[in-house]
Amino acid sequence: MGHGIAQVAAQFGRYDVTIRDIEQKFIDNGLNMIRESLQRFLKKGQTSEAEMNEILTRIHPTLDLKSAVSNADLIIEAVPENSDLKKPLLREADGYAPPHAIIVTNTSSISITELASATKRPEKFCGMHFFNPPQLMKLVEIVKGAKTTDETTQTVLEAAQRMGKETVLVKKDCPGFIVNRVLTPALNEAAALYWEEVAERDDIDKAIKLGLNWPMGPLMLIDYIGADTTLAIAEVLQKELDPKFHPNTGLKQMVKAQLLGRKTGKGFYDWTQK
């Protein structure tokens, strides 16, 4: 998600963007994916080569968190869906960031109020949930925490809209927000249908695409999102809301086997073949 958000901010928002990761190989991979994405825009005639090069000059990679955030106005955290990873990073970024900076999290389901508590600026903290891939998906959920001010919310709404996004405001911090609270149970049930051998993979995806007019089937969507991320969201919903959200055993087995979808090459589909 990080590379896609960086691209959207630089391409459509025309912001200067610093991307930071923990290893150079991750940064290199992210920059390569940004270049590949921009090449697709170029081939479709949606950008020019000069514009593409200009976008790339606005993206600055670094391994150093302090240099990444010390002059930032808006800090977007997009690490994996695990509060034990997010909280220490948010705490460290908060210590380096200027007082006026707003910090947002791209979490899919974790409590905004909980993550904000890792910082000393909960009033300048909210959720900014992009959808995958950020370069193409128009929606951003803006989620208020218990202490998020209206001024912070408005600033983040305007930043998202400058990036060309449609926004919805989640007024109350709740697990899964709007989309994932509705979507995750549907994805979980699709995985259950597959592992219970009720129907073949392609028929499950075909049924939902044609019957519910989804642009892609639920099993393919799990592969795009990542089985690990889907599982993490389901577990948050189960823990925070109701046992009825318990994730399917087959989905858990896929995560244990690292059959996560596109990110590992195989999930419900084989992504190693073009």
Long-range contacts of 21-25 (CB under 8 A, 24+ apart): 21/63, 22/63, 23/63, 24/63
Task: Give the pair of three-digit tokens for residue 243.
Answer: 């046992």
Q: Tell me the DSSP string of 155-216.
A: HHHHHHHHTT-EEEEE-S--TTTTHHHHHHHHHHHHHHHHHTTSS-HHHHHHHHHHHH--SS
H or E segment and range at residue 103: strand 102-105
Report the candidate in 5, 55, 66 with the shortest Cα–Cα distance to residue 30: 5
Report the candidate in 89, 56, 68 with the shortest Cα–Cα distance to residue 18: 68
CA–CA separation, 191 vs 201, rounded Å? 9
What residues have CB less than 8 Å from 84, skipping those under 6 apart? Answer: none
Inter-residue contact 54 to 48 (CB < 8 Å): no
Catalytic positions, please? 108, 129, 141, 180
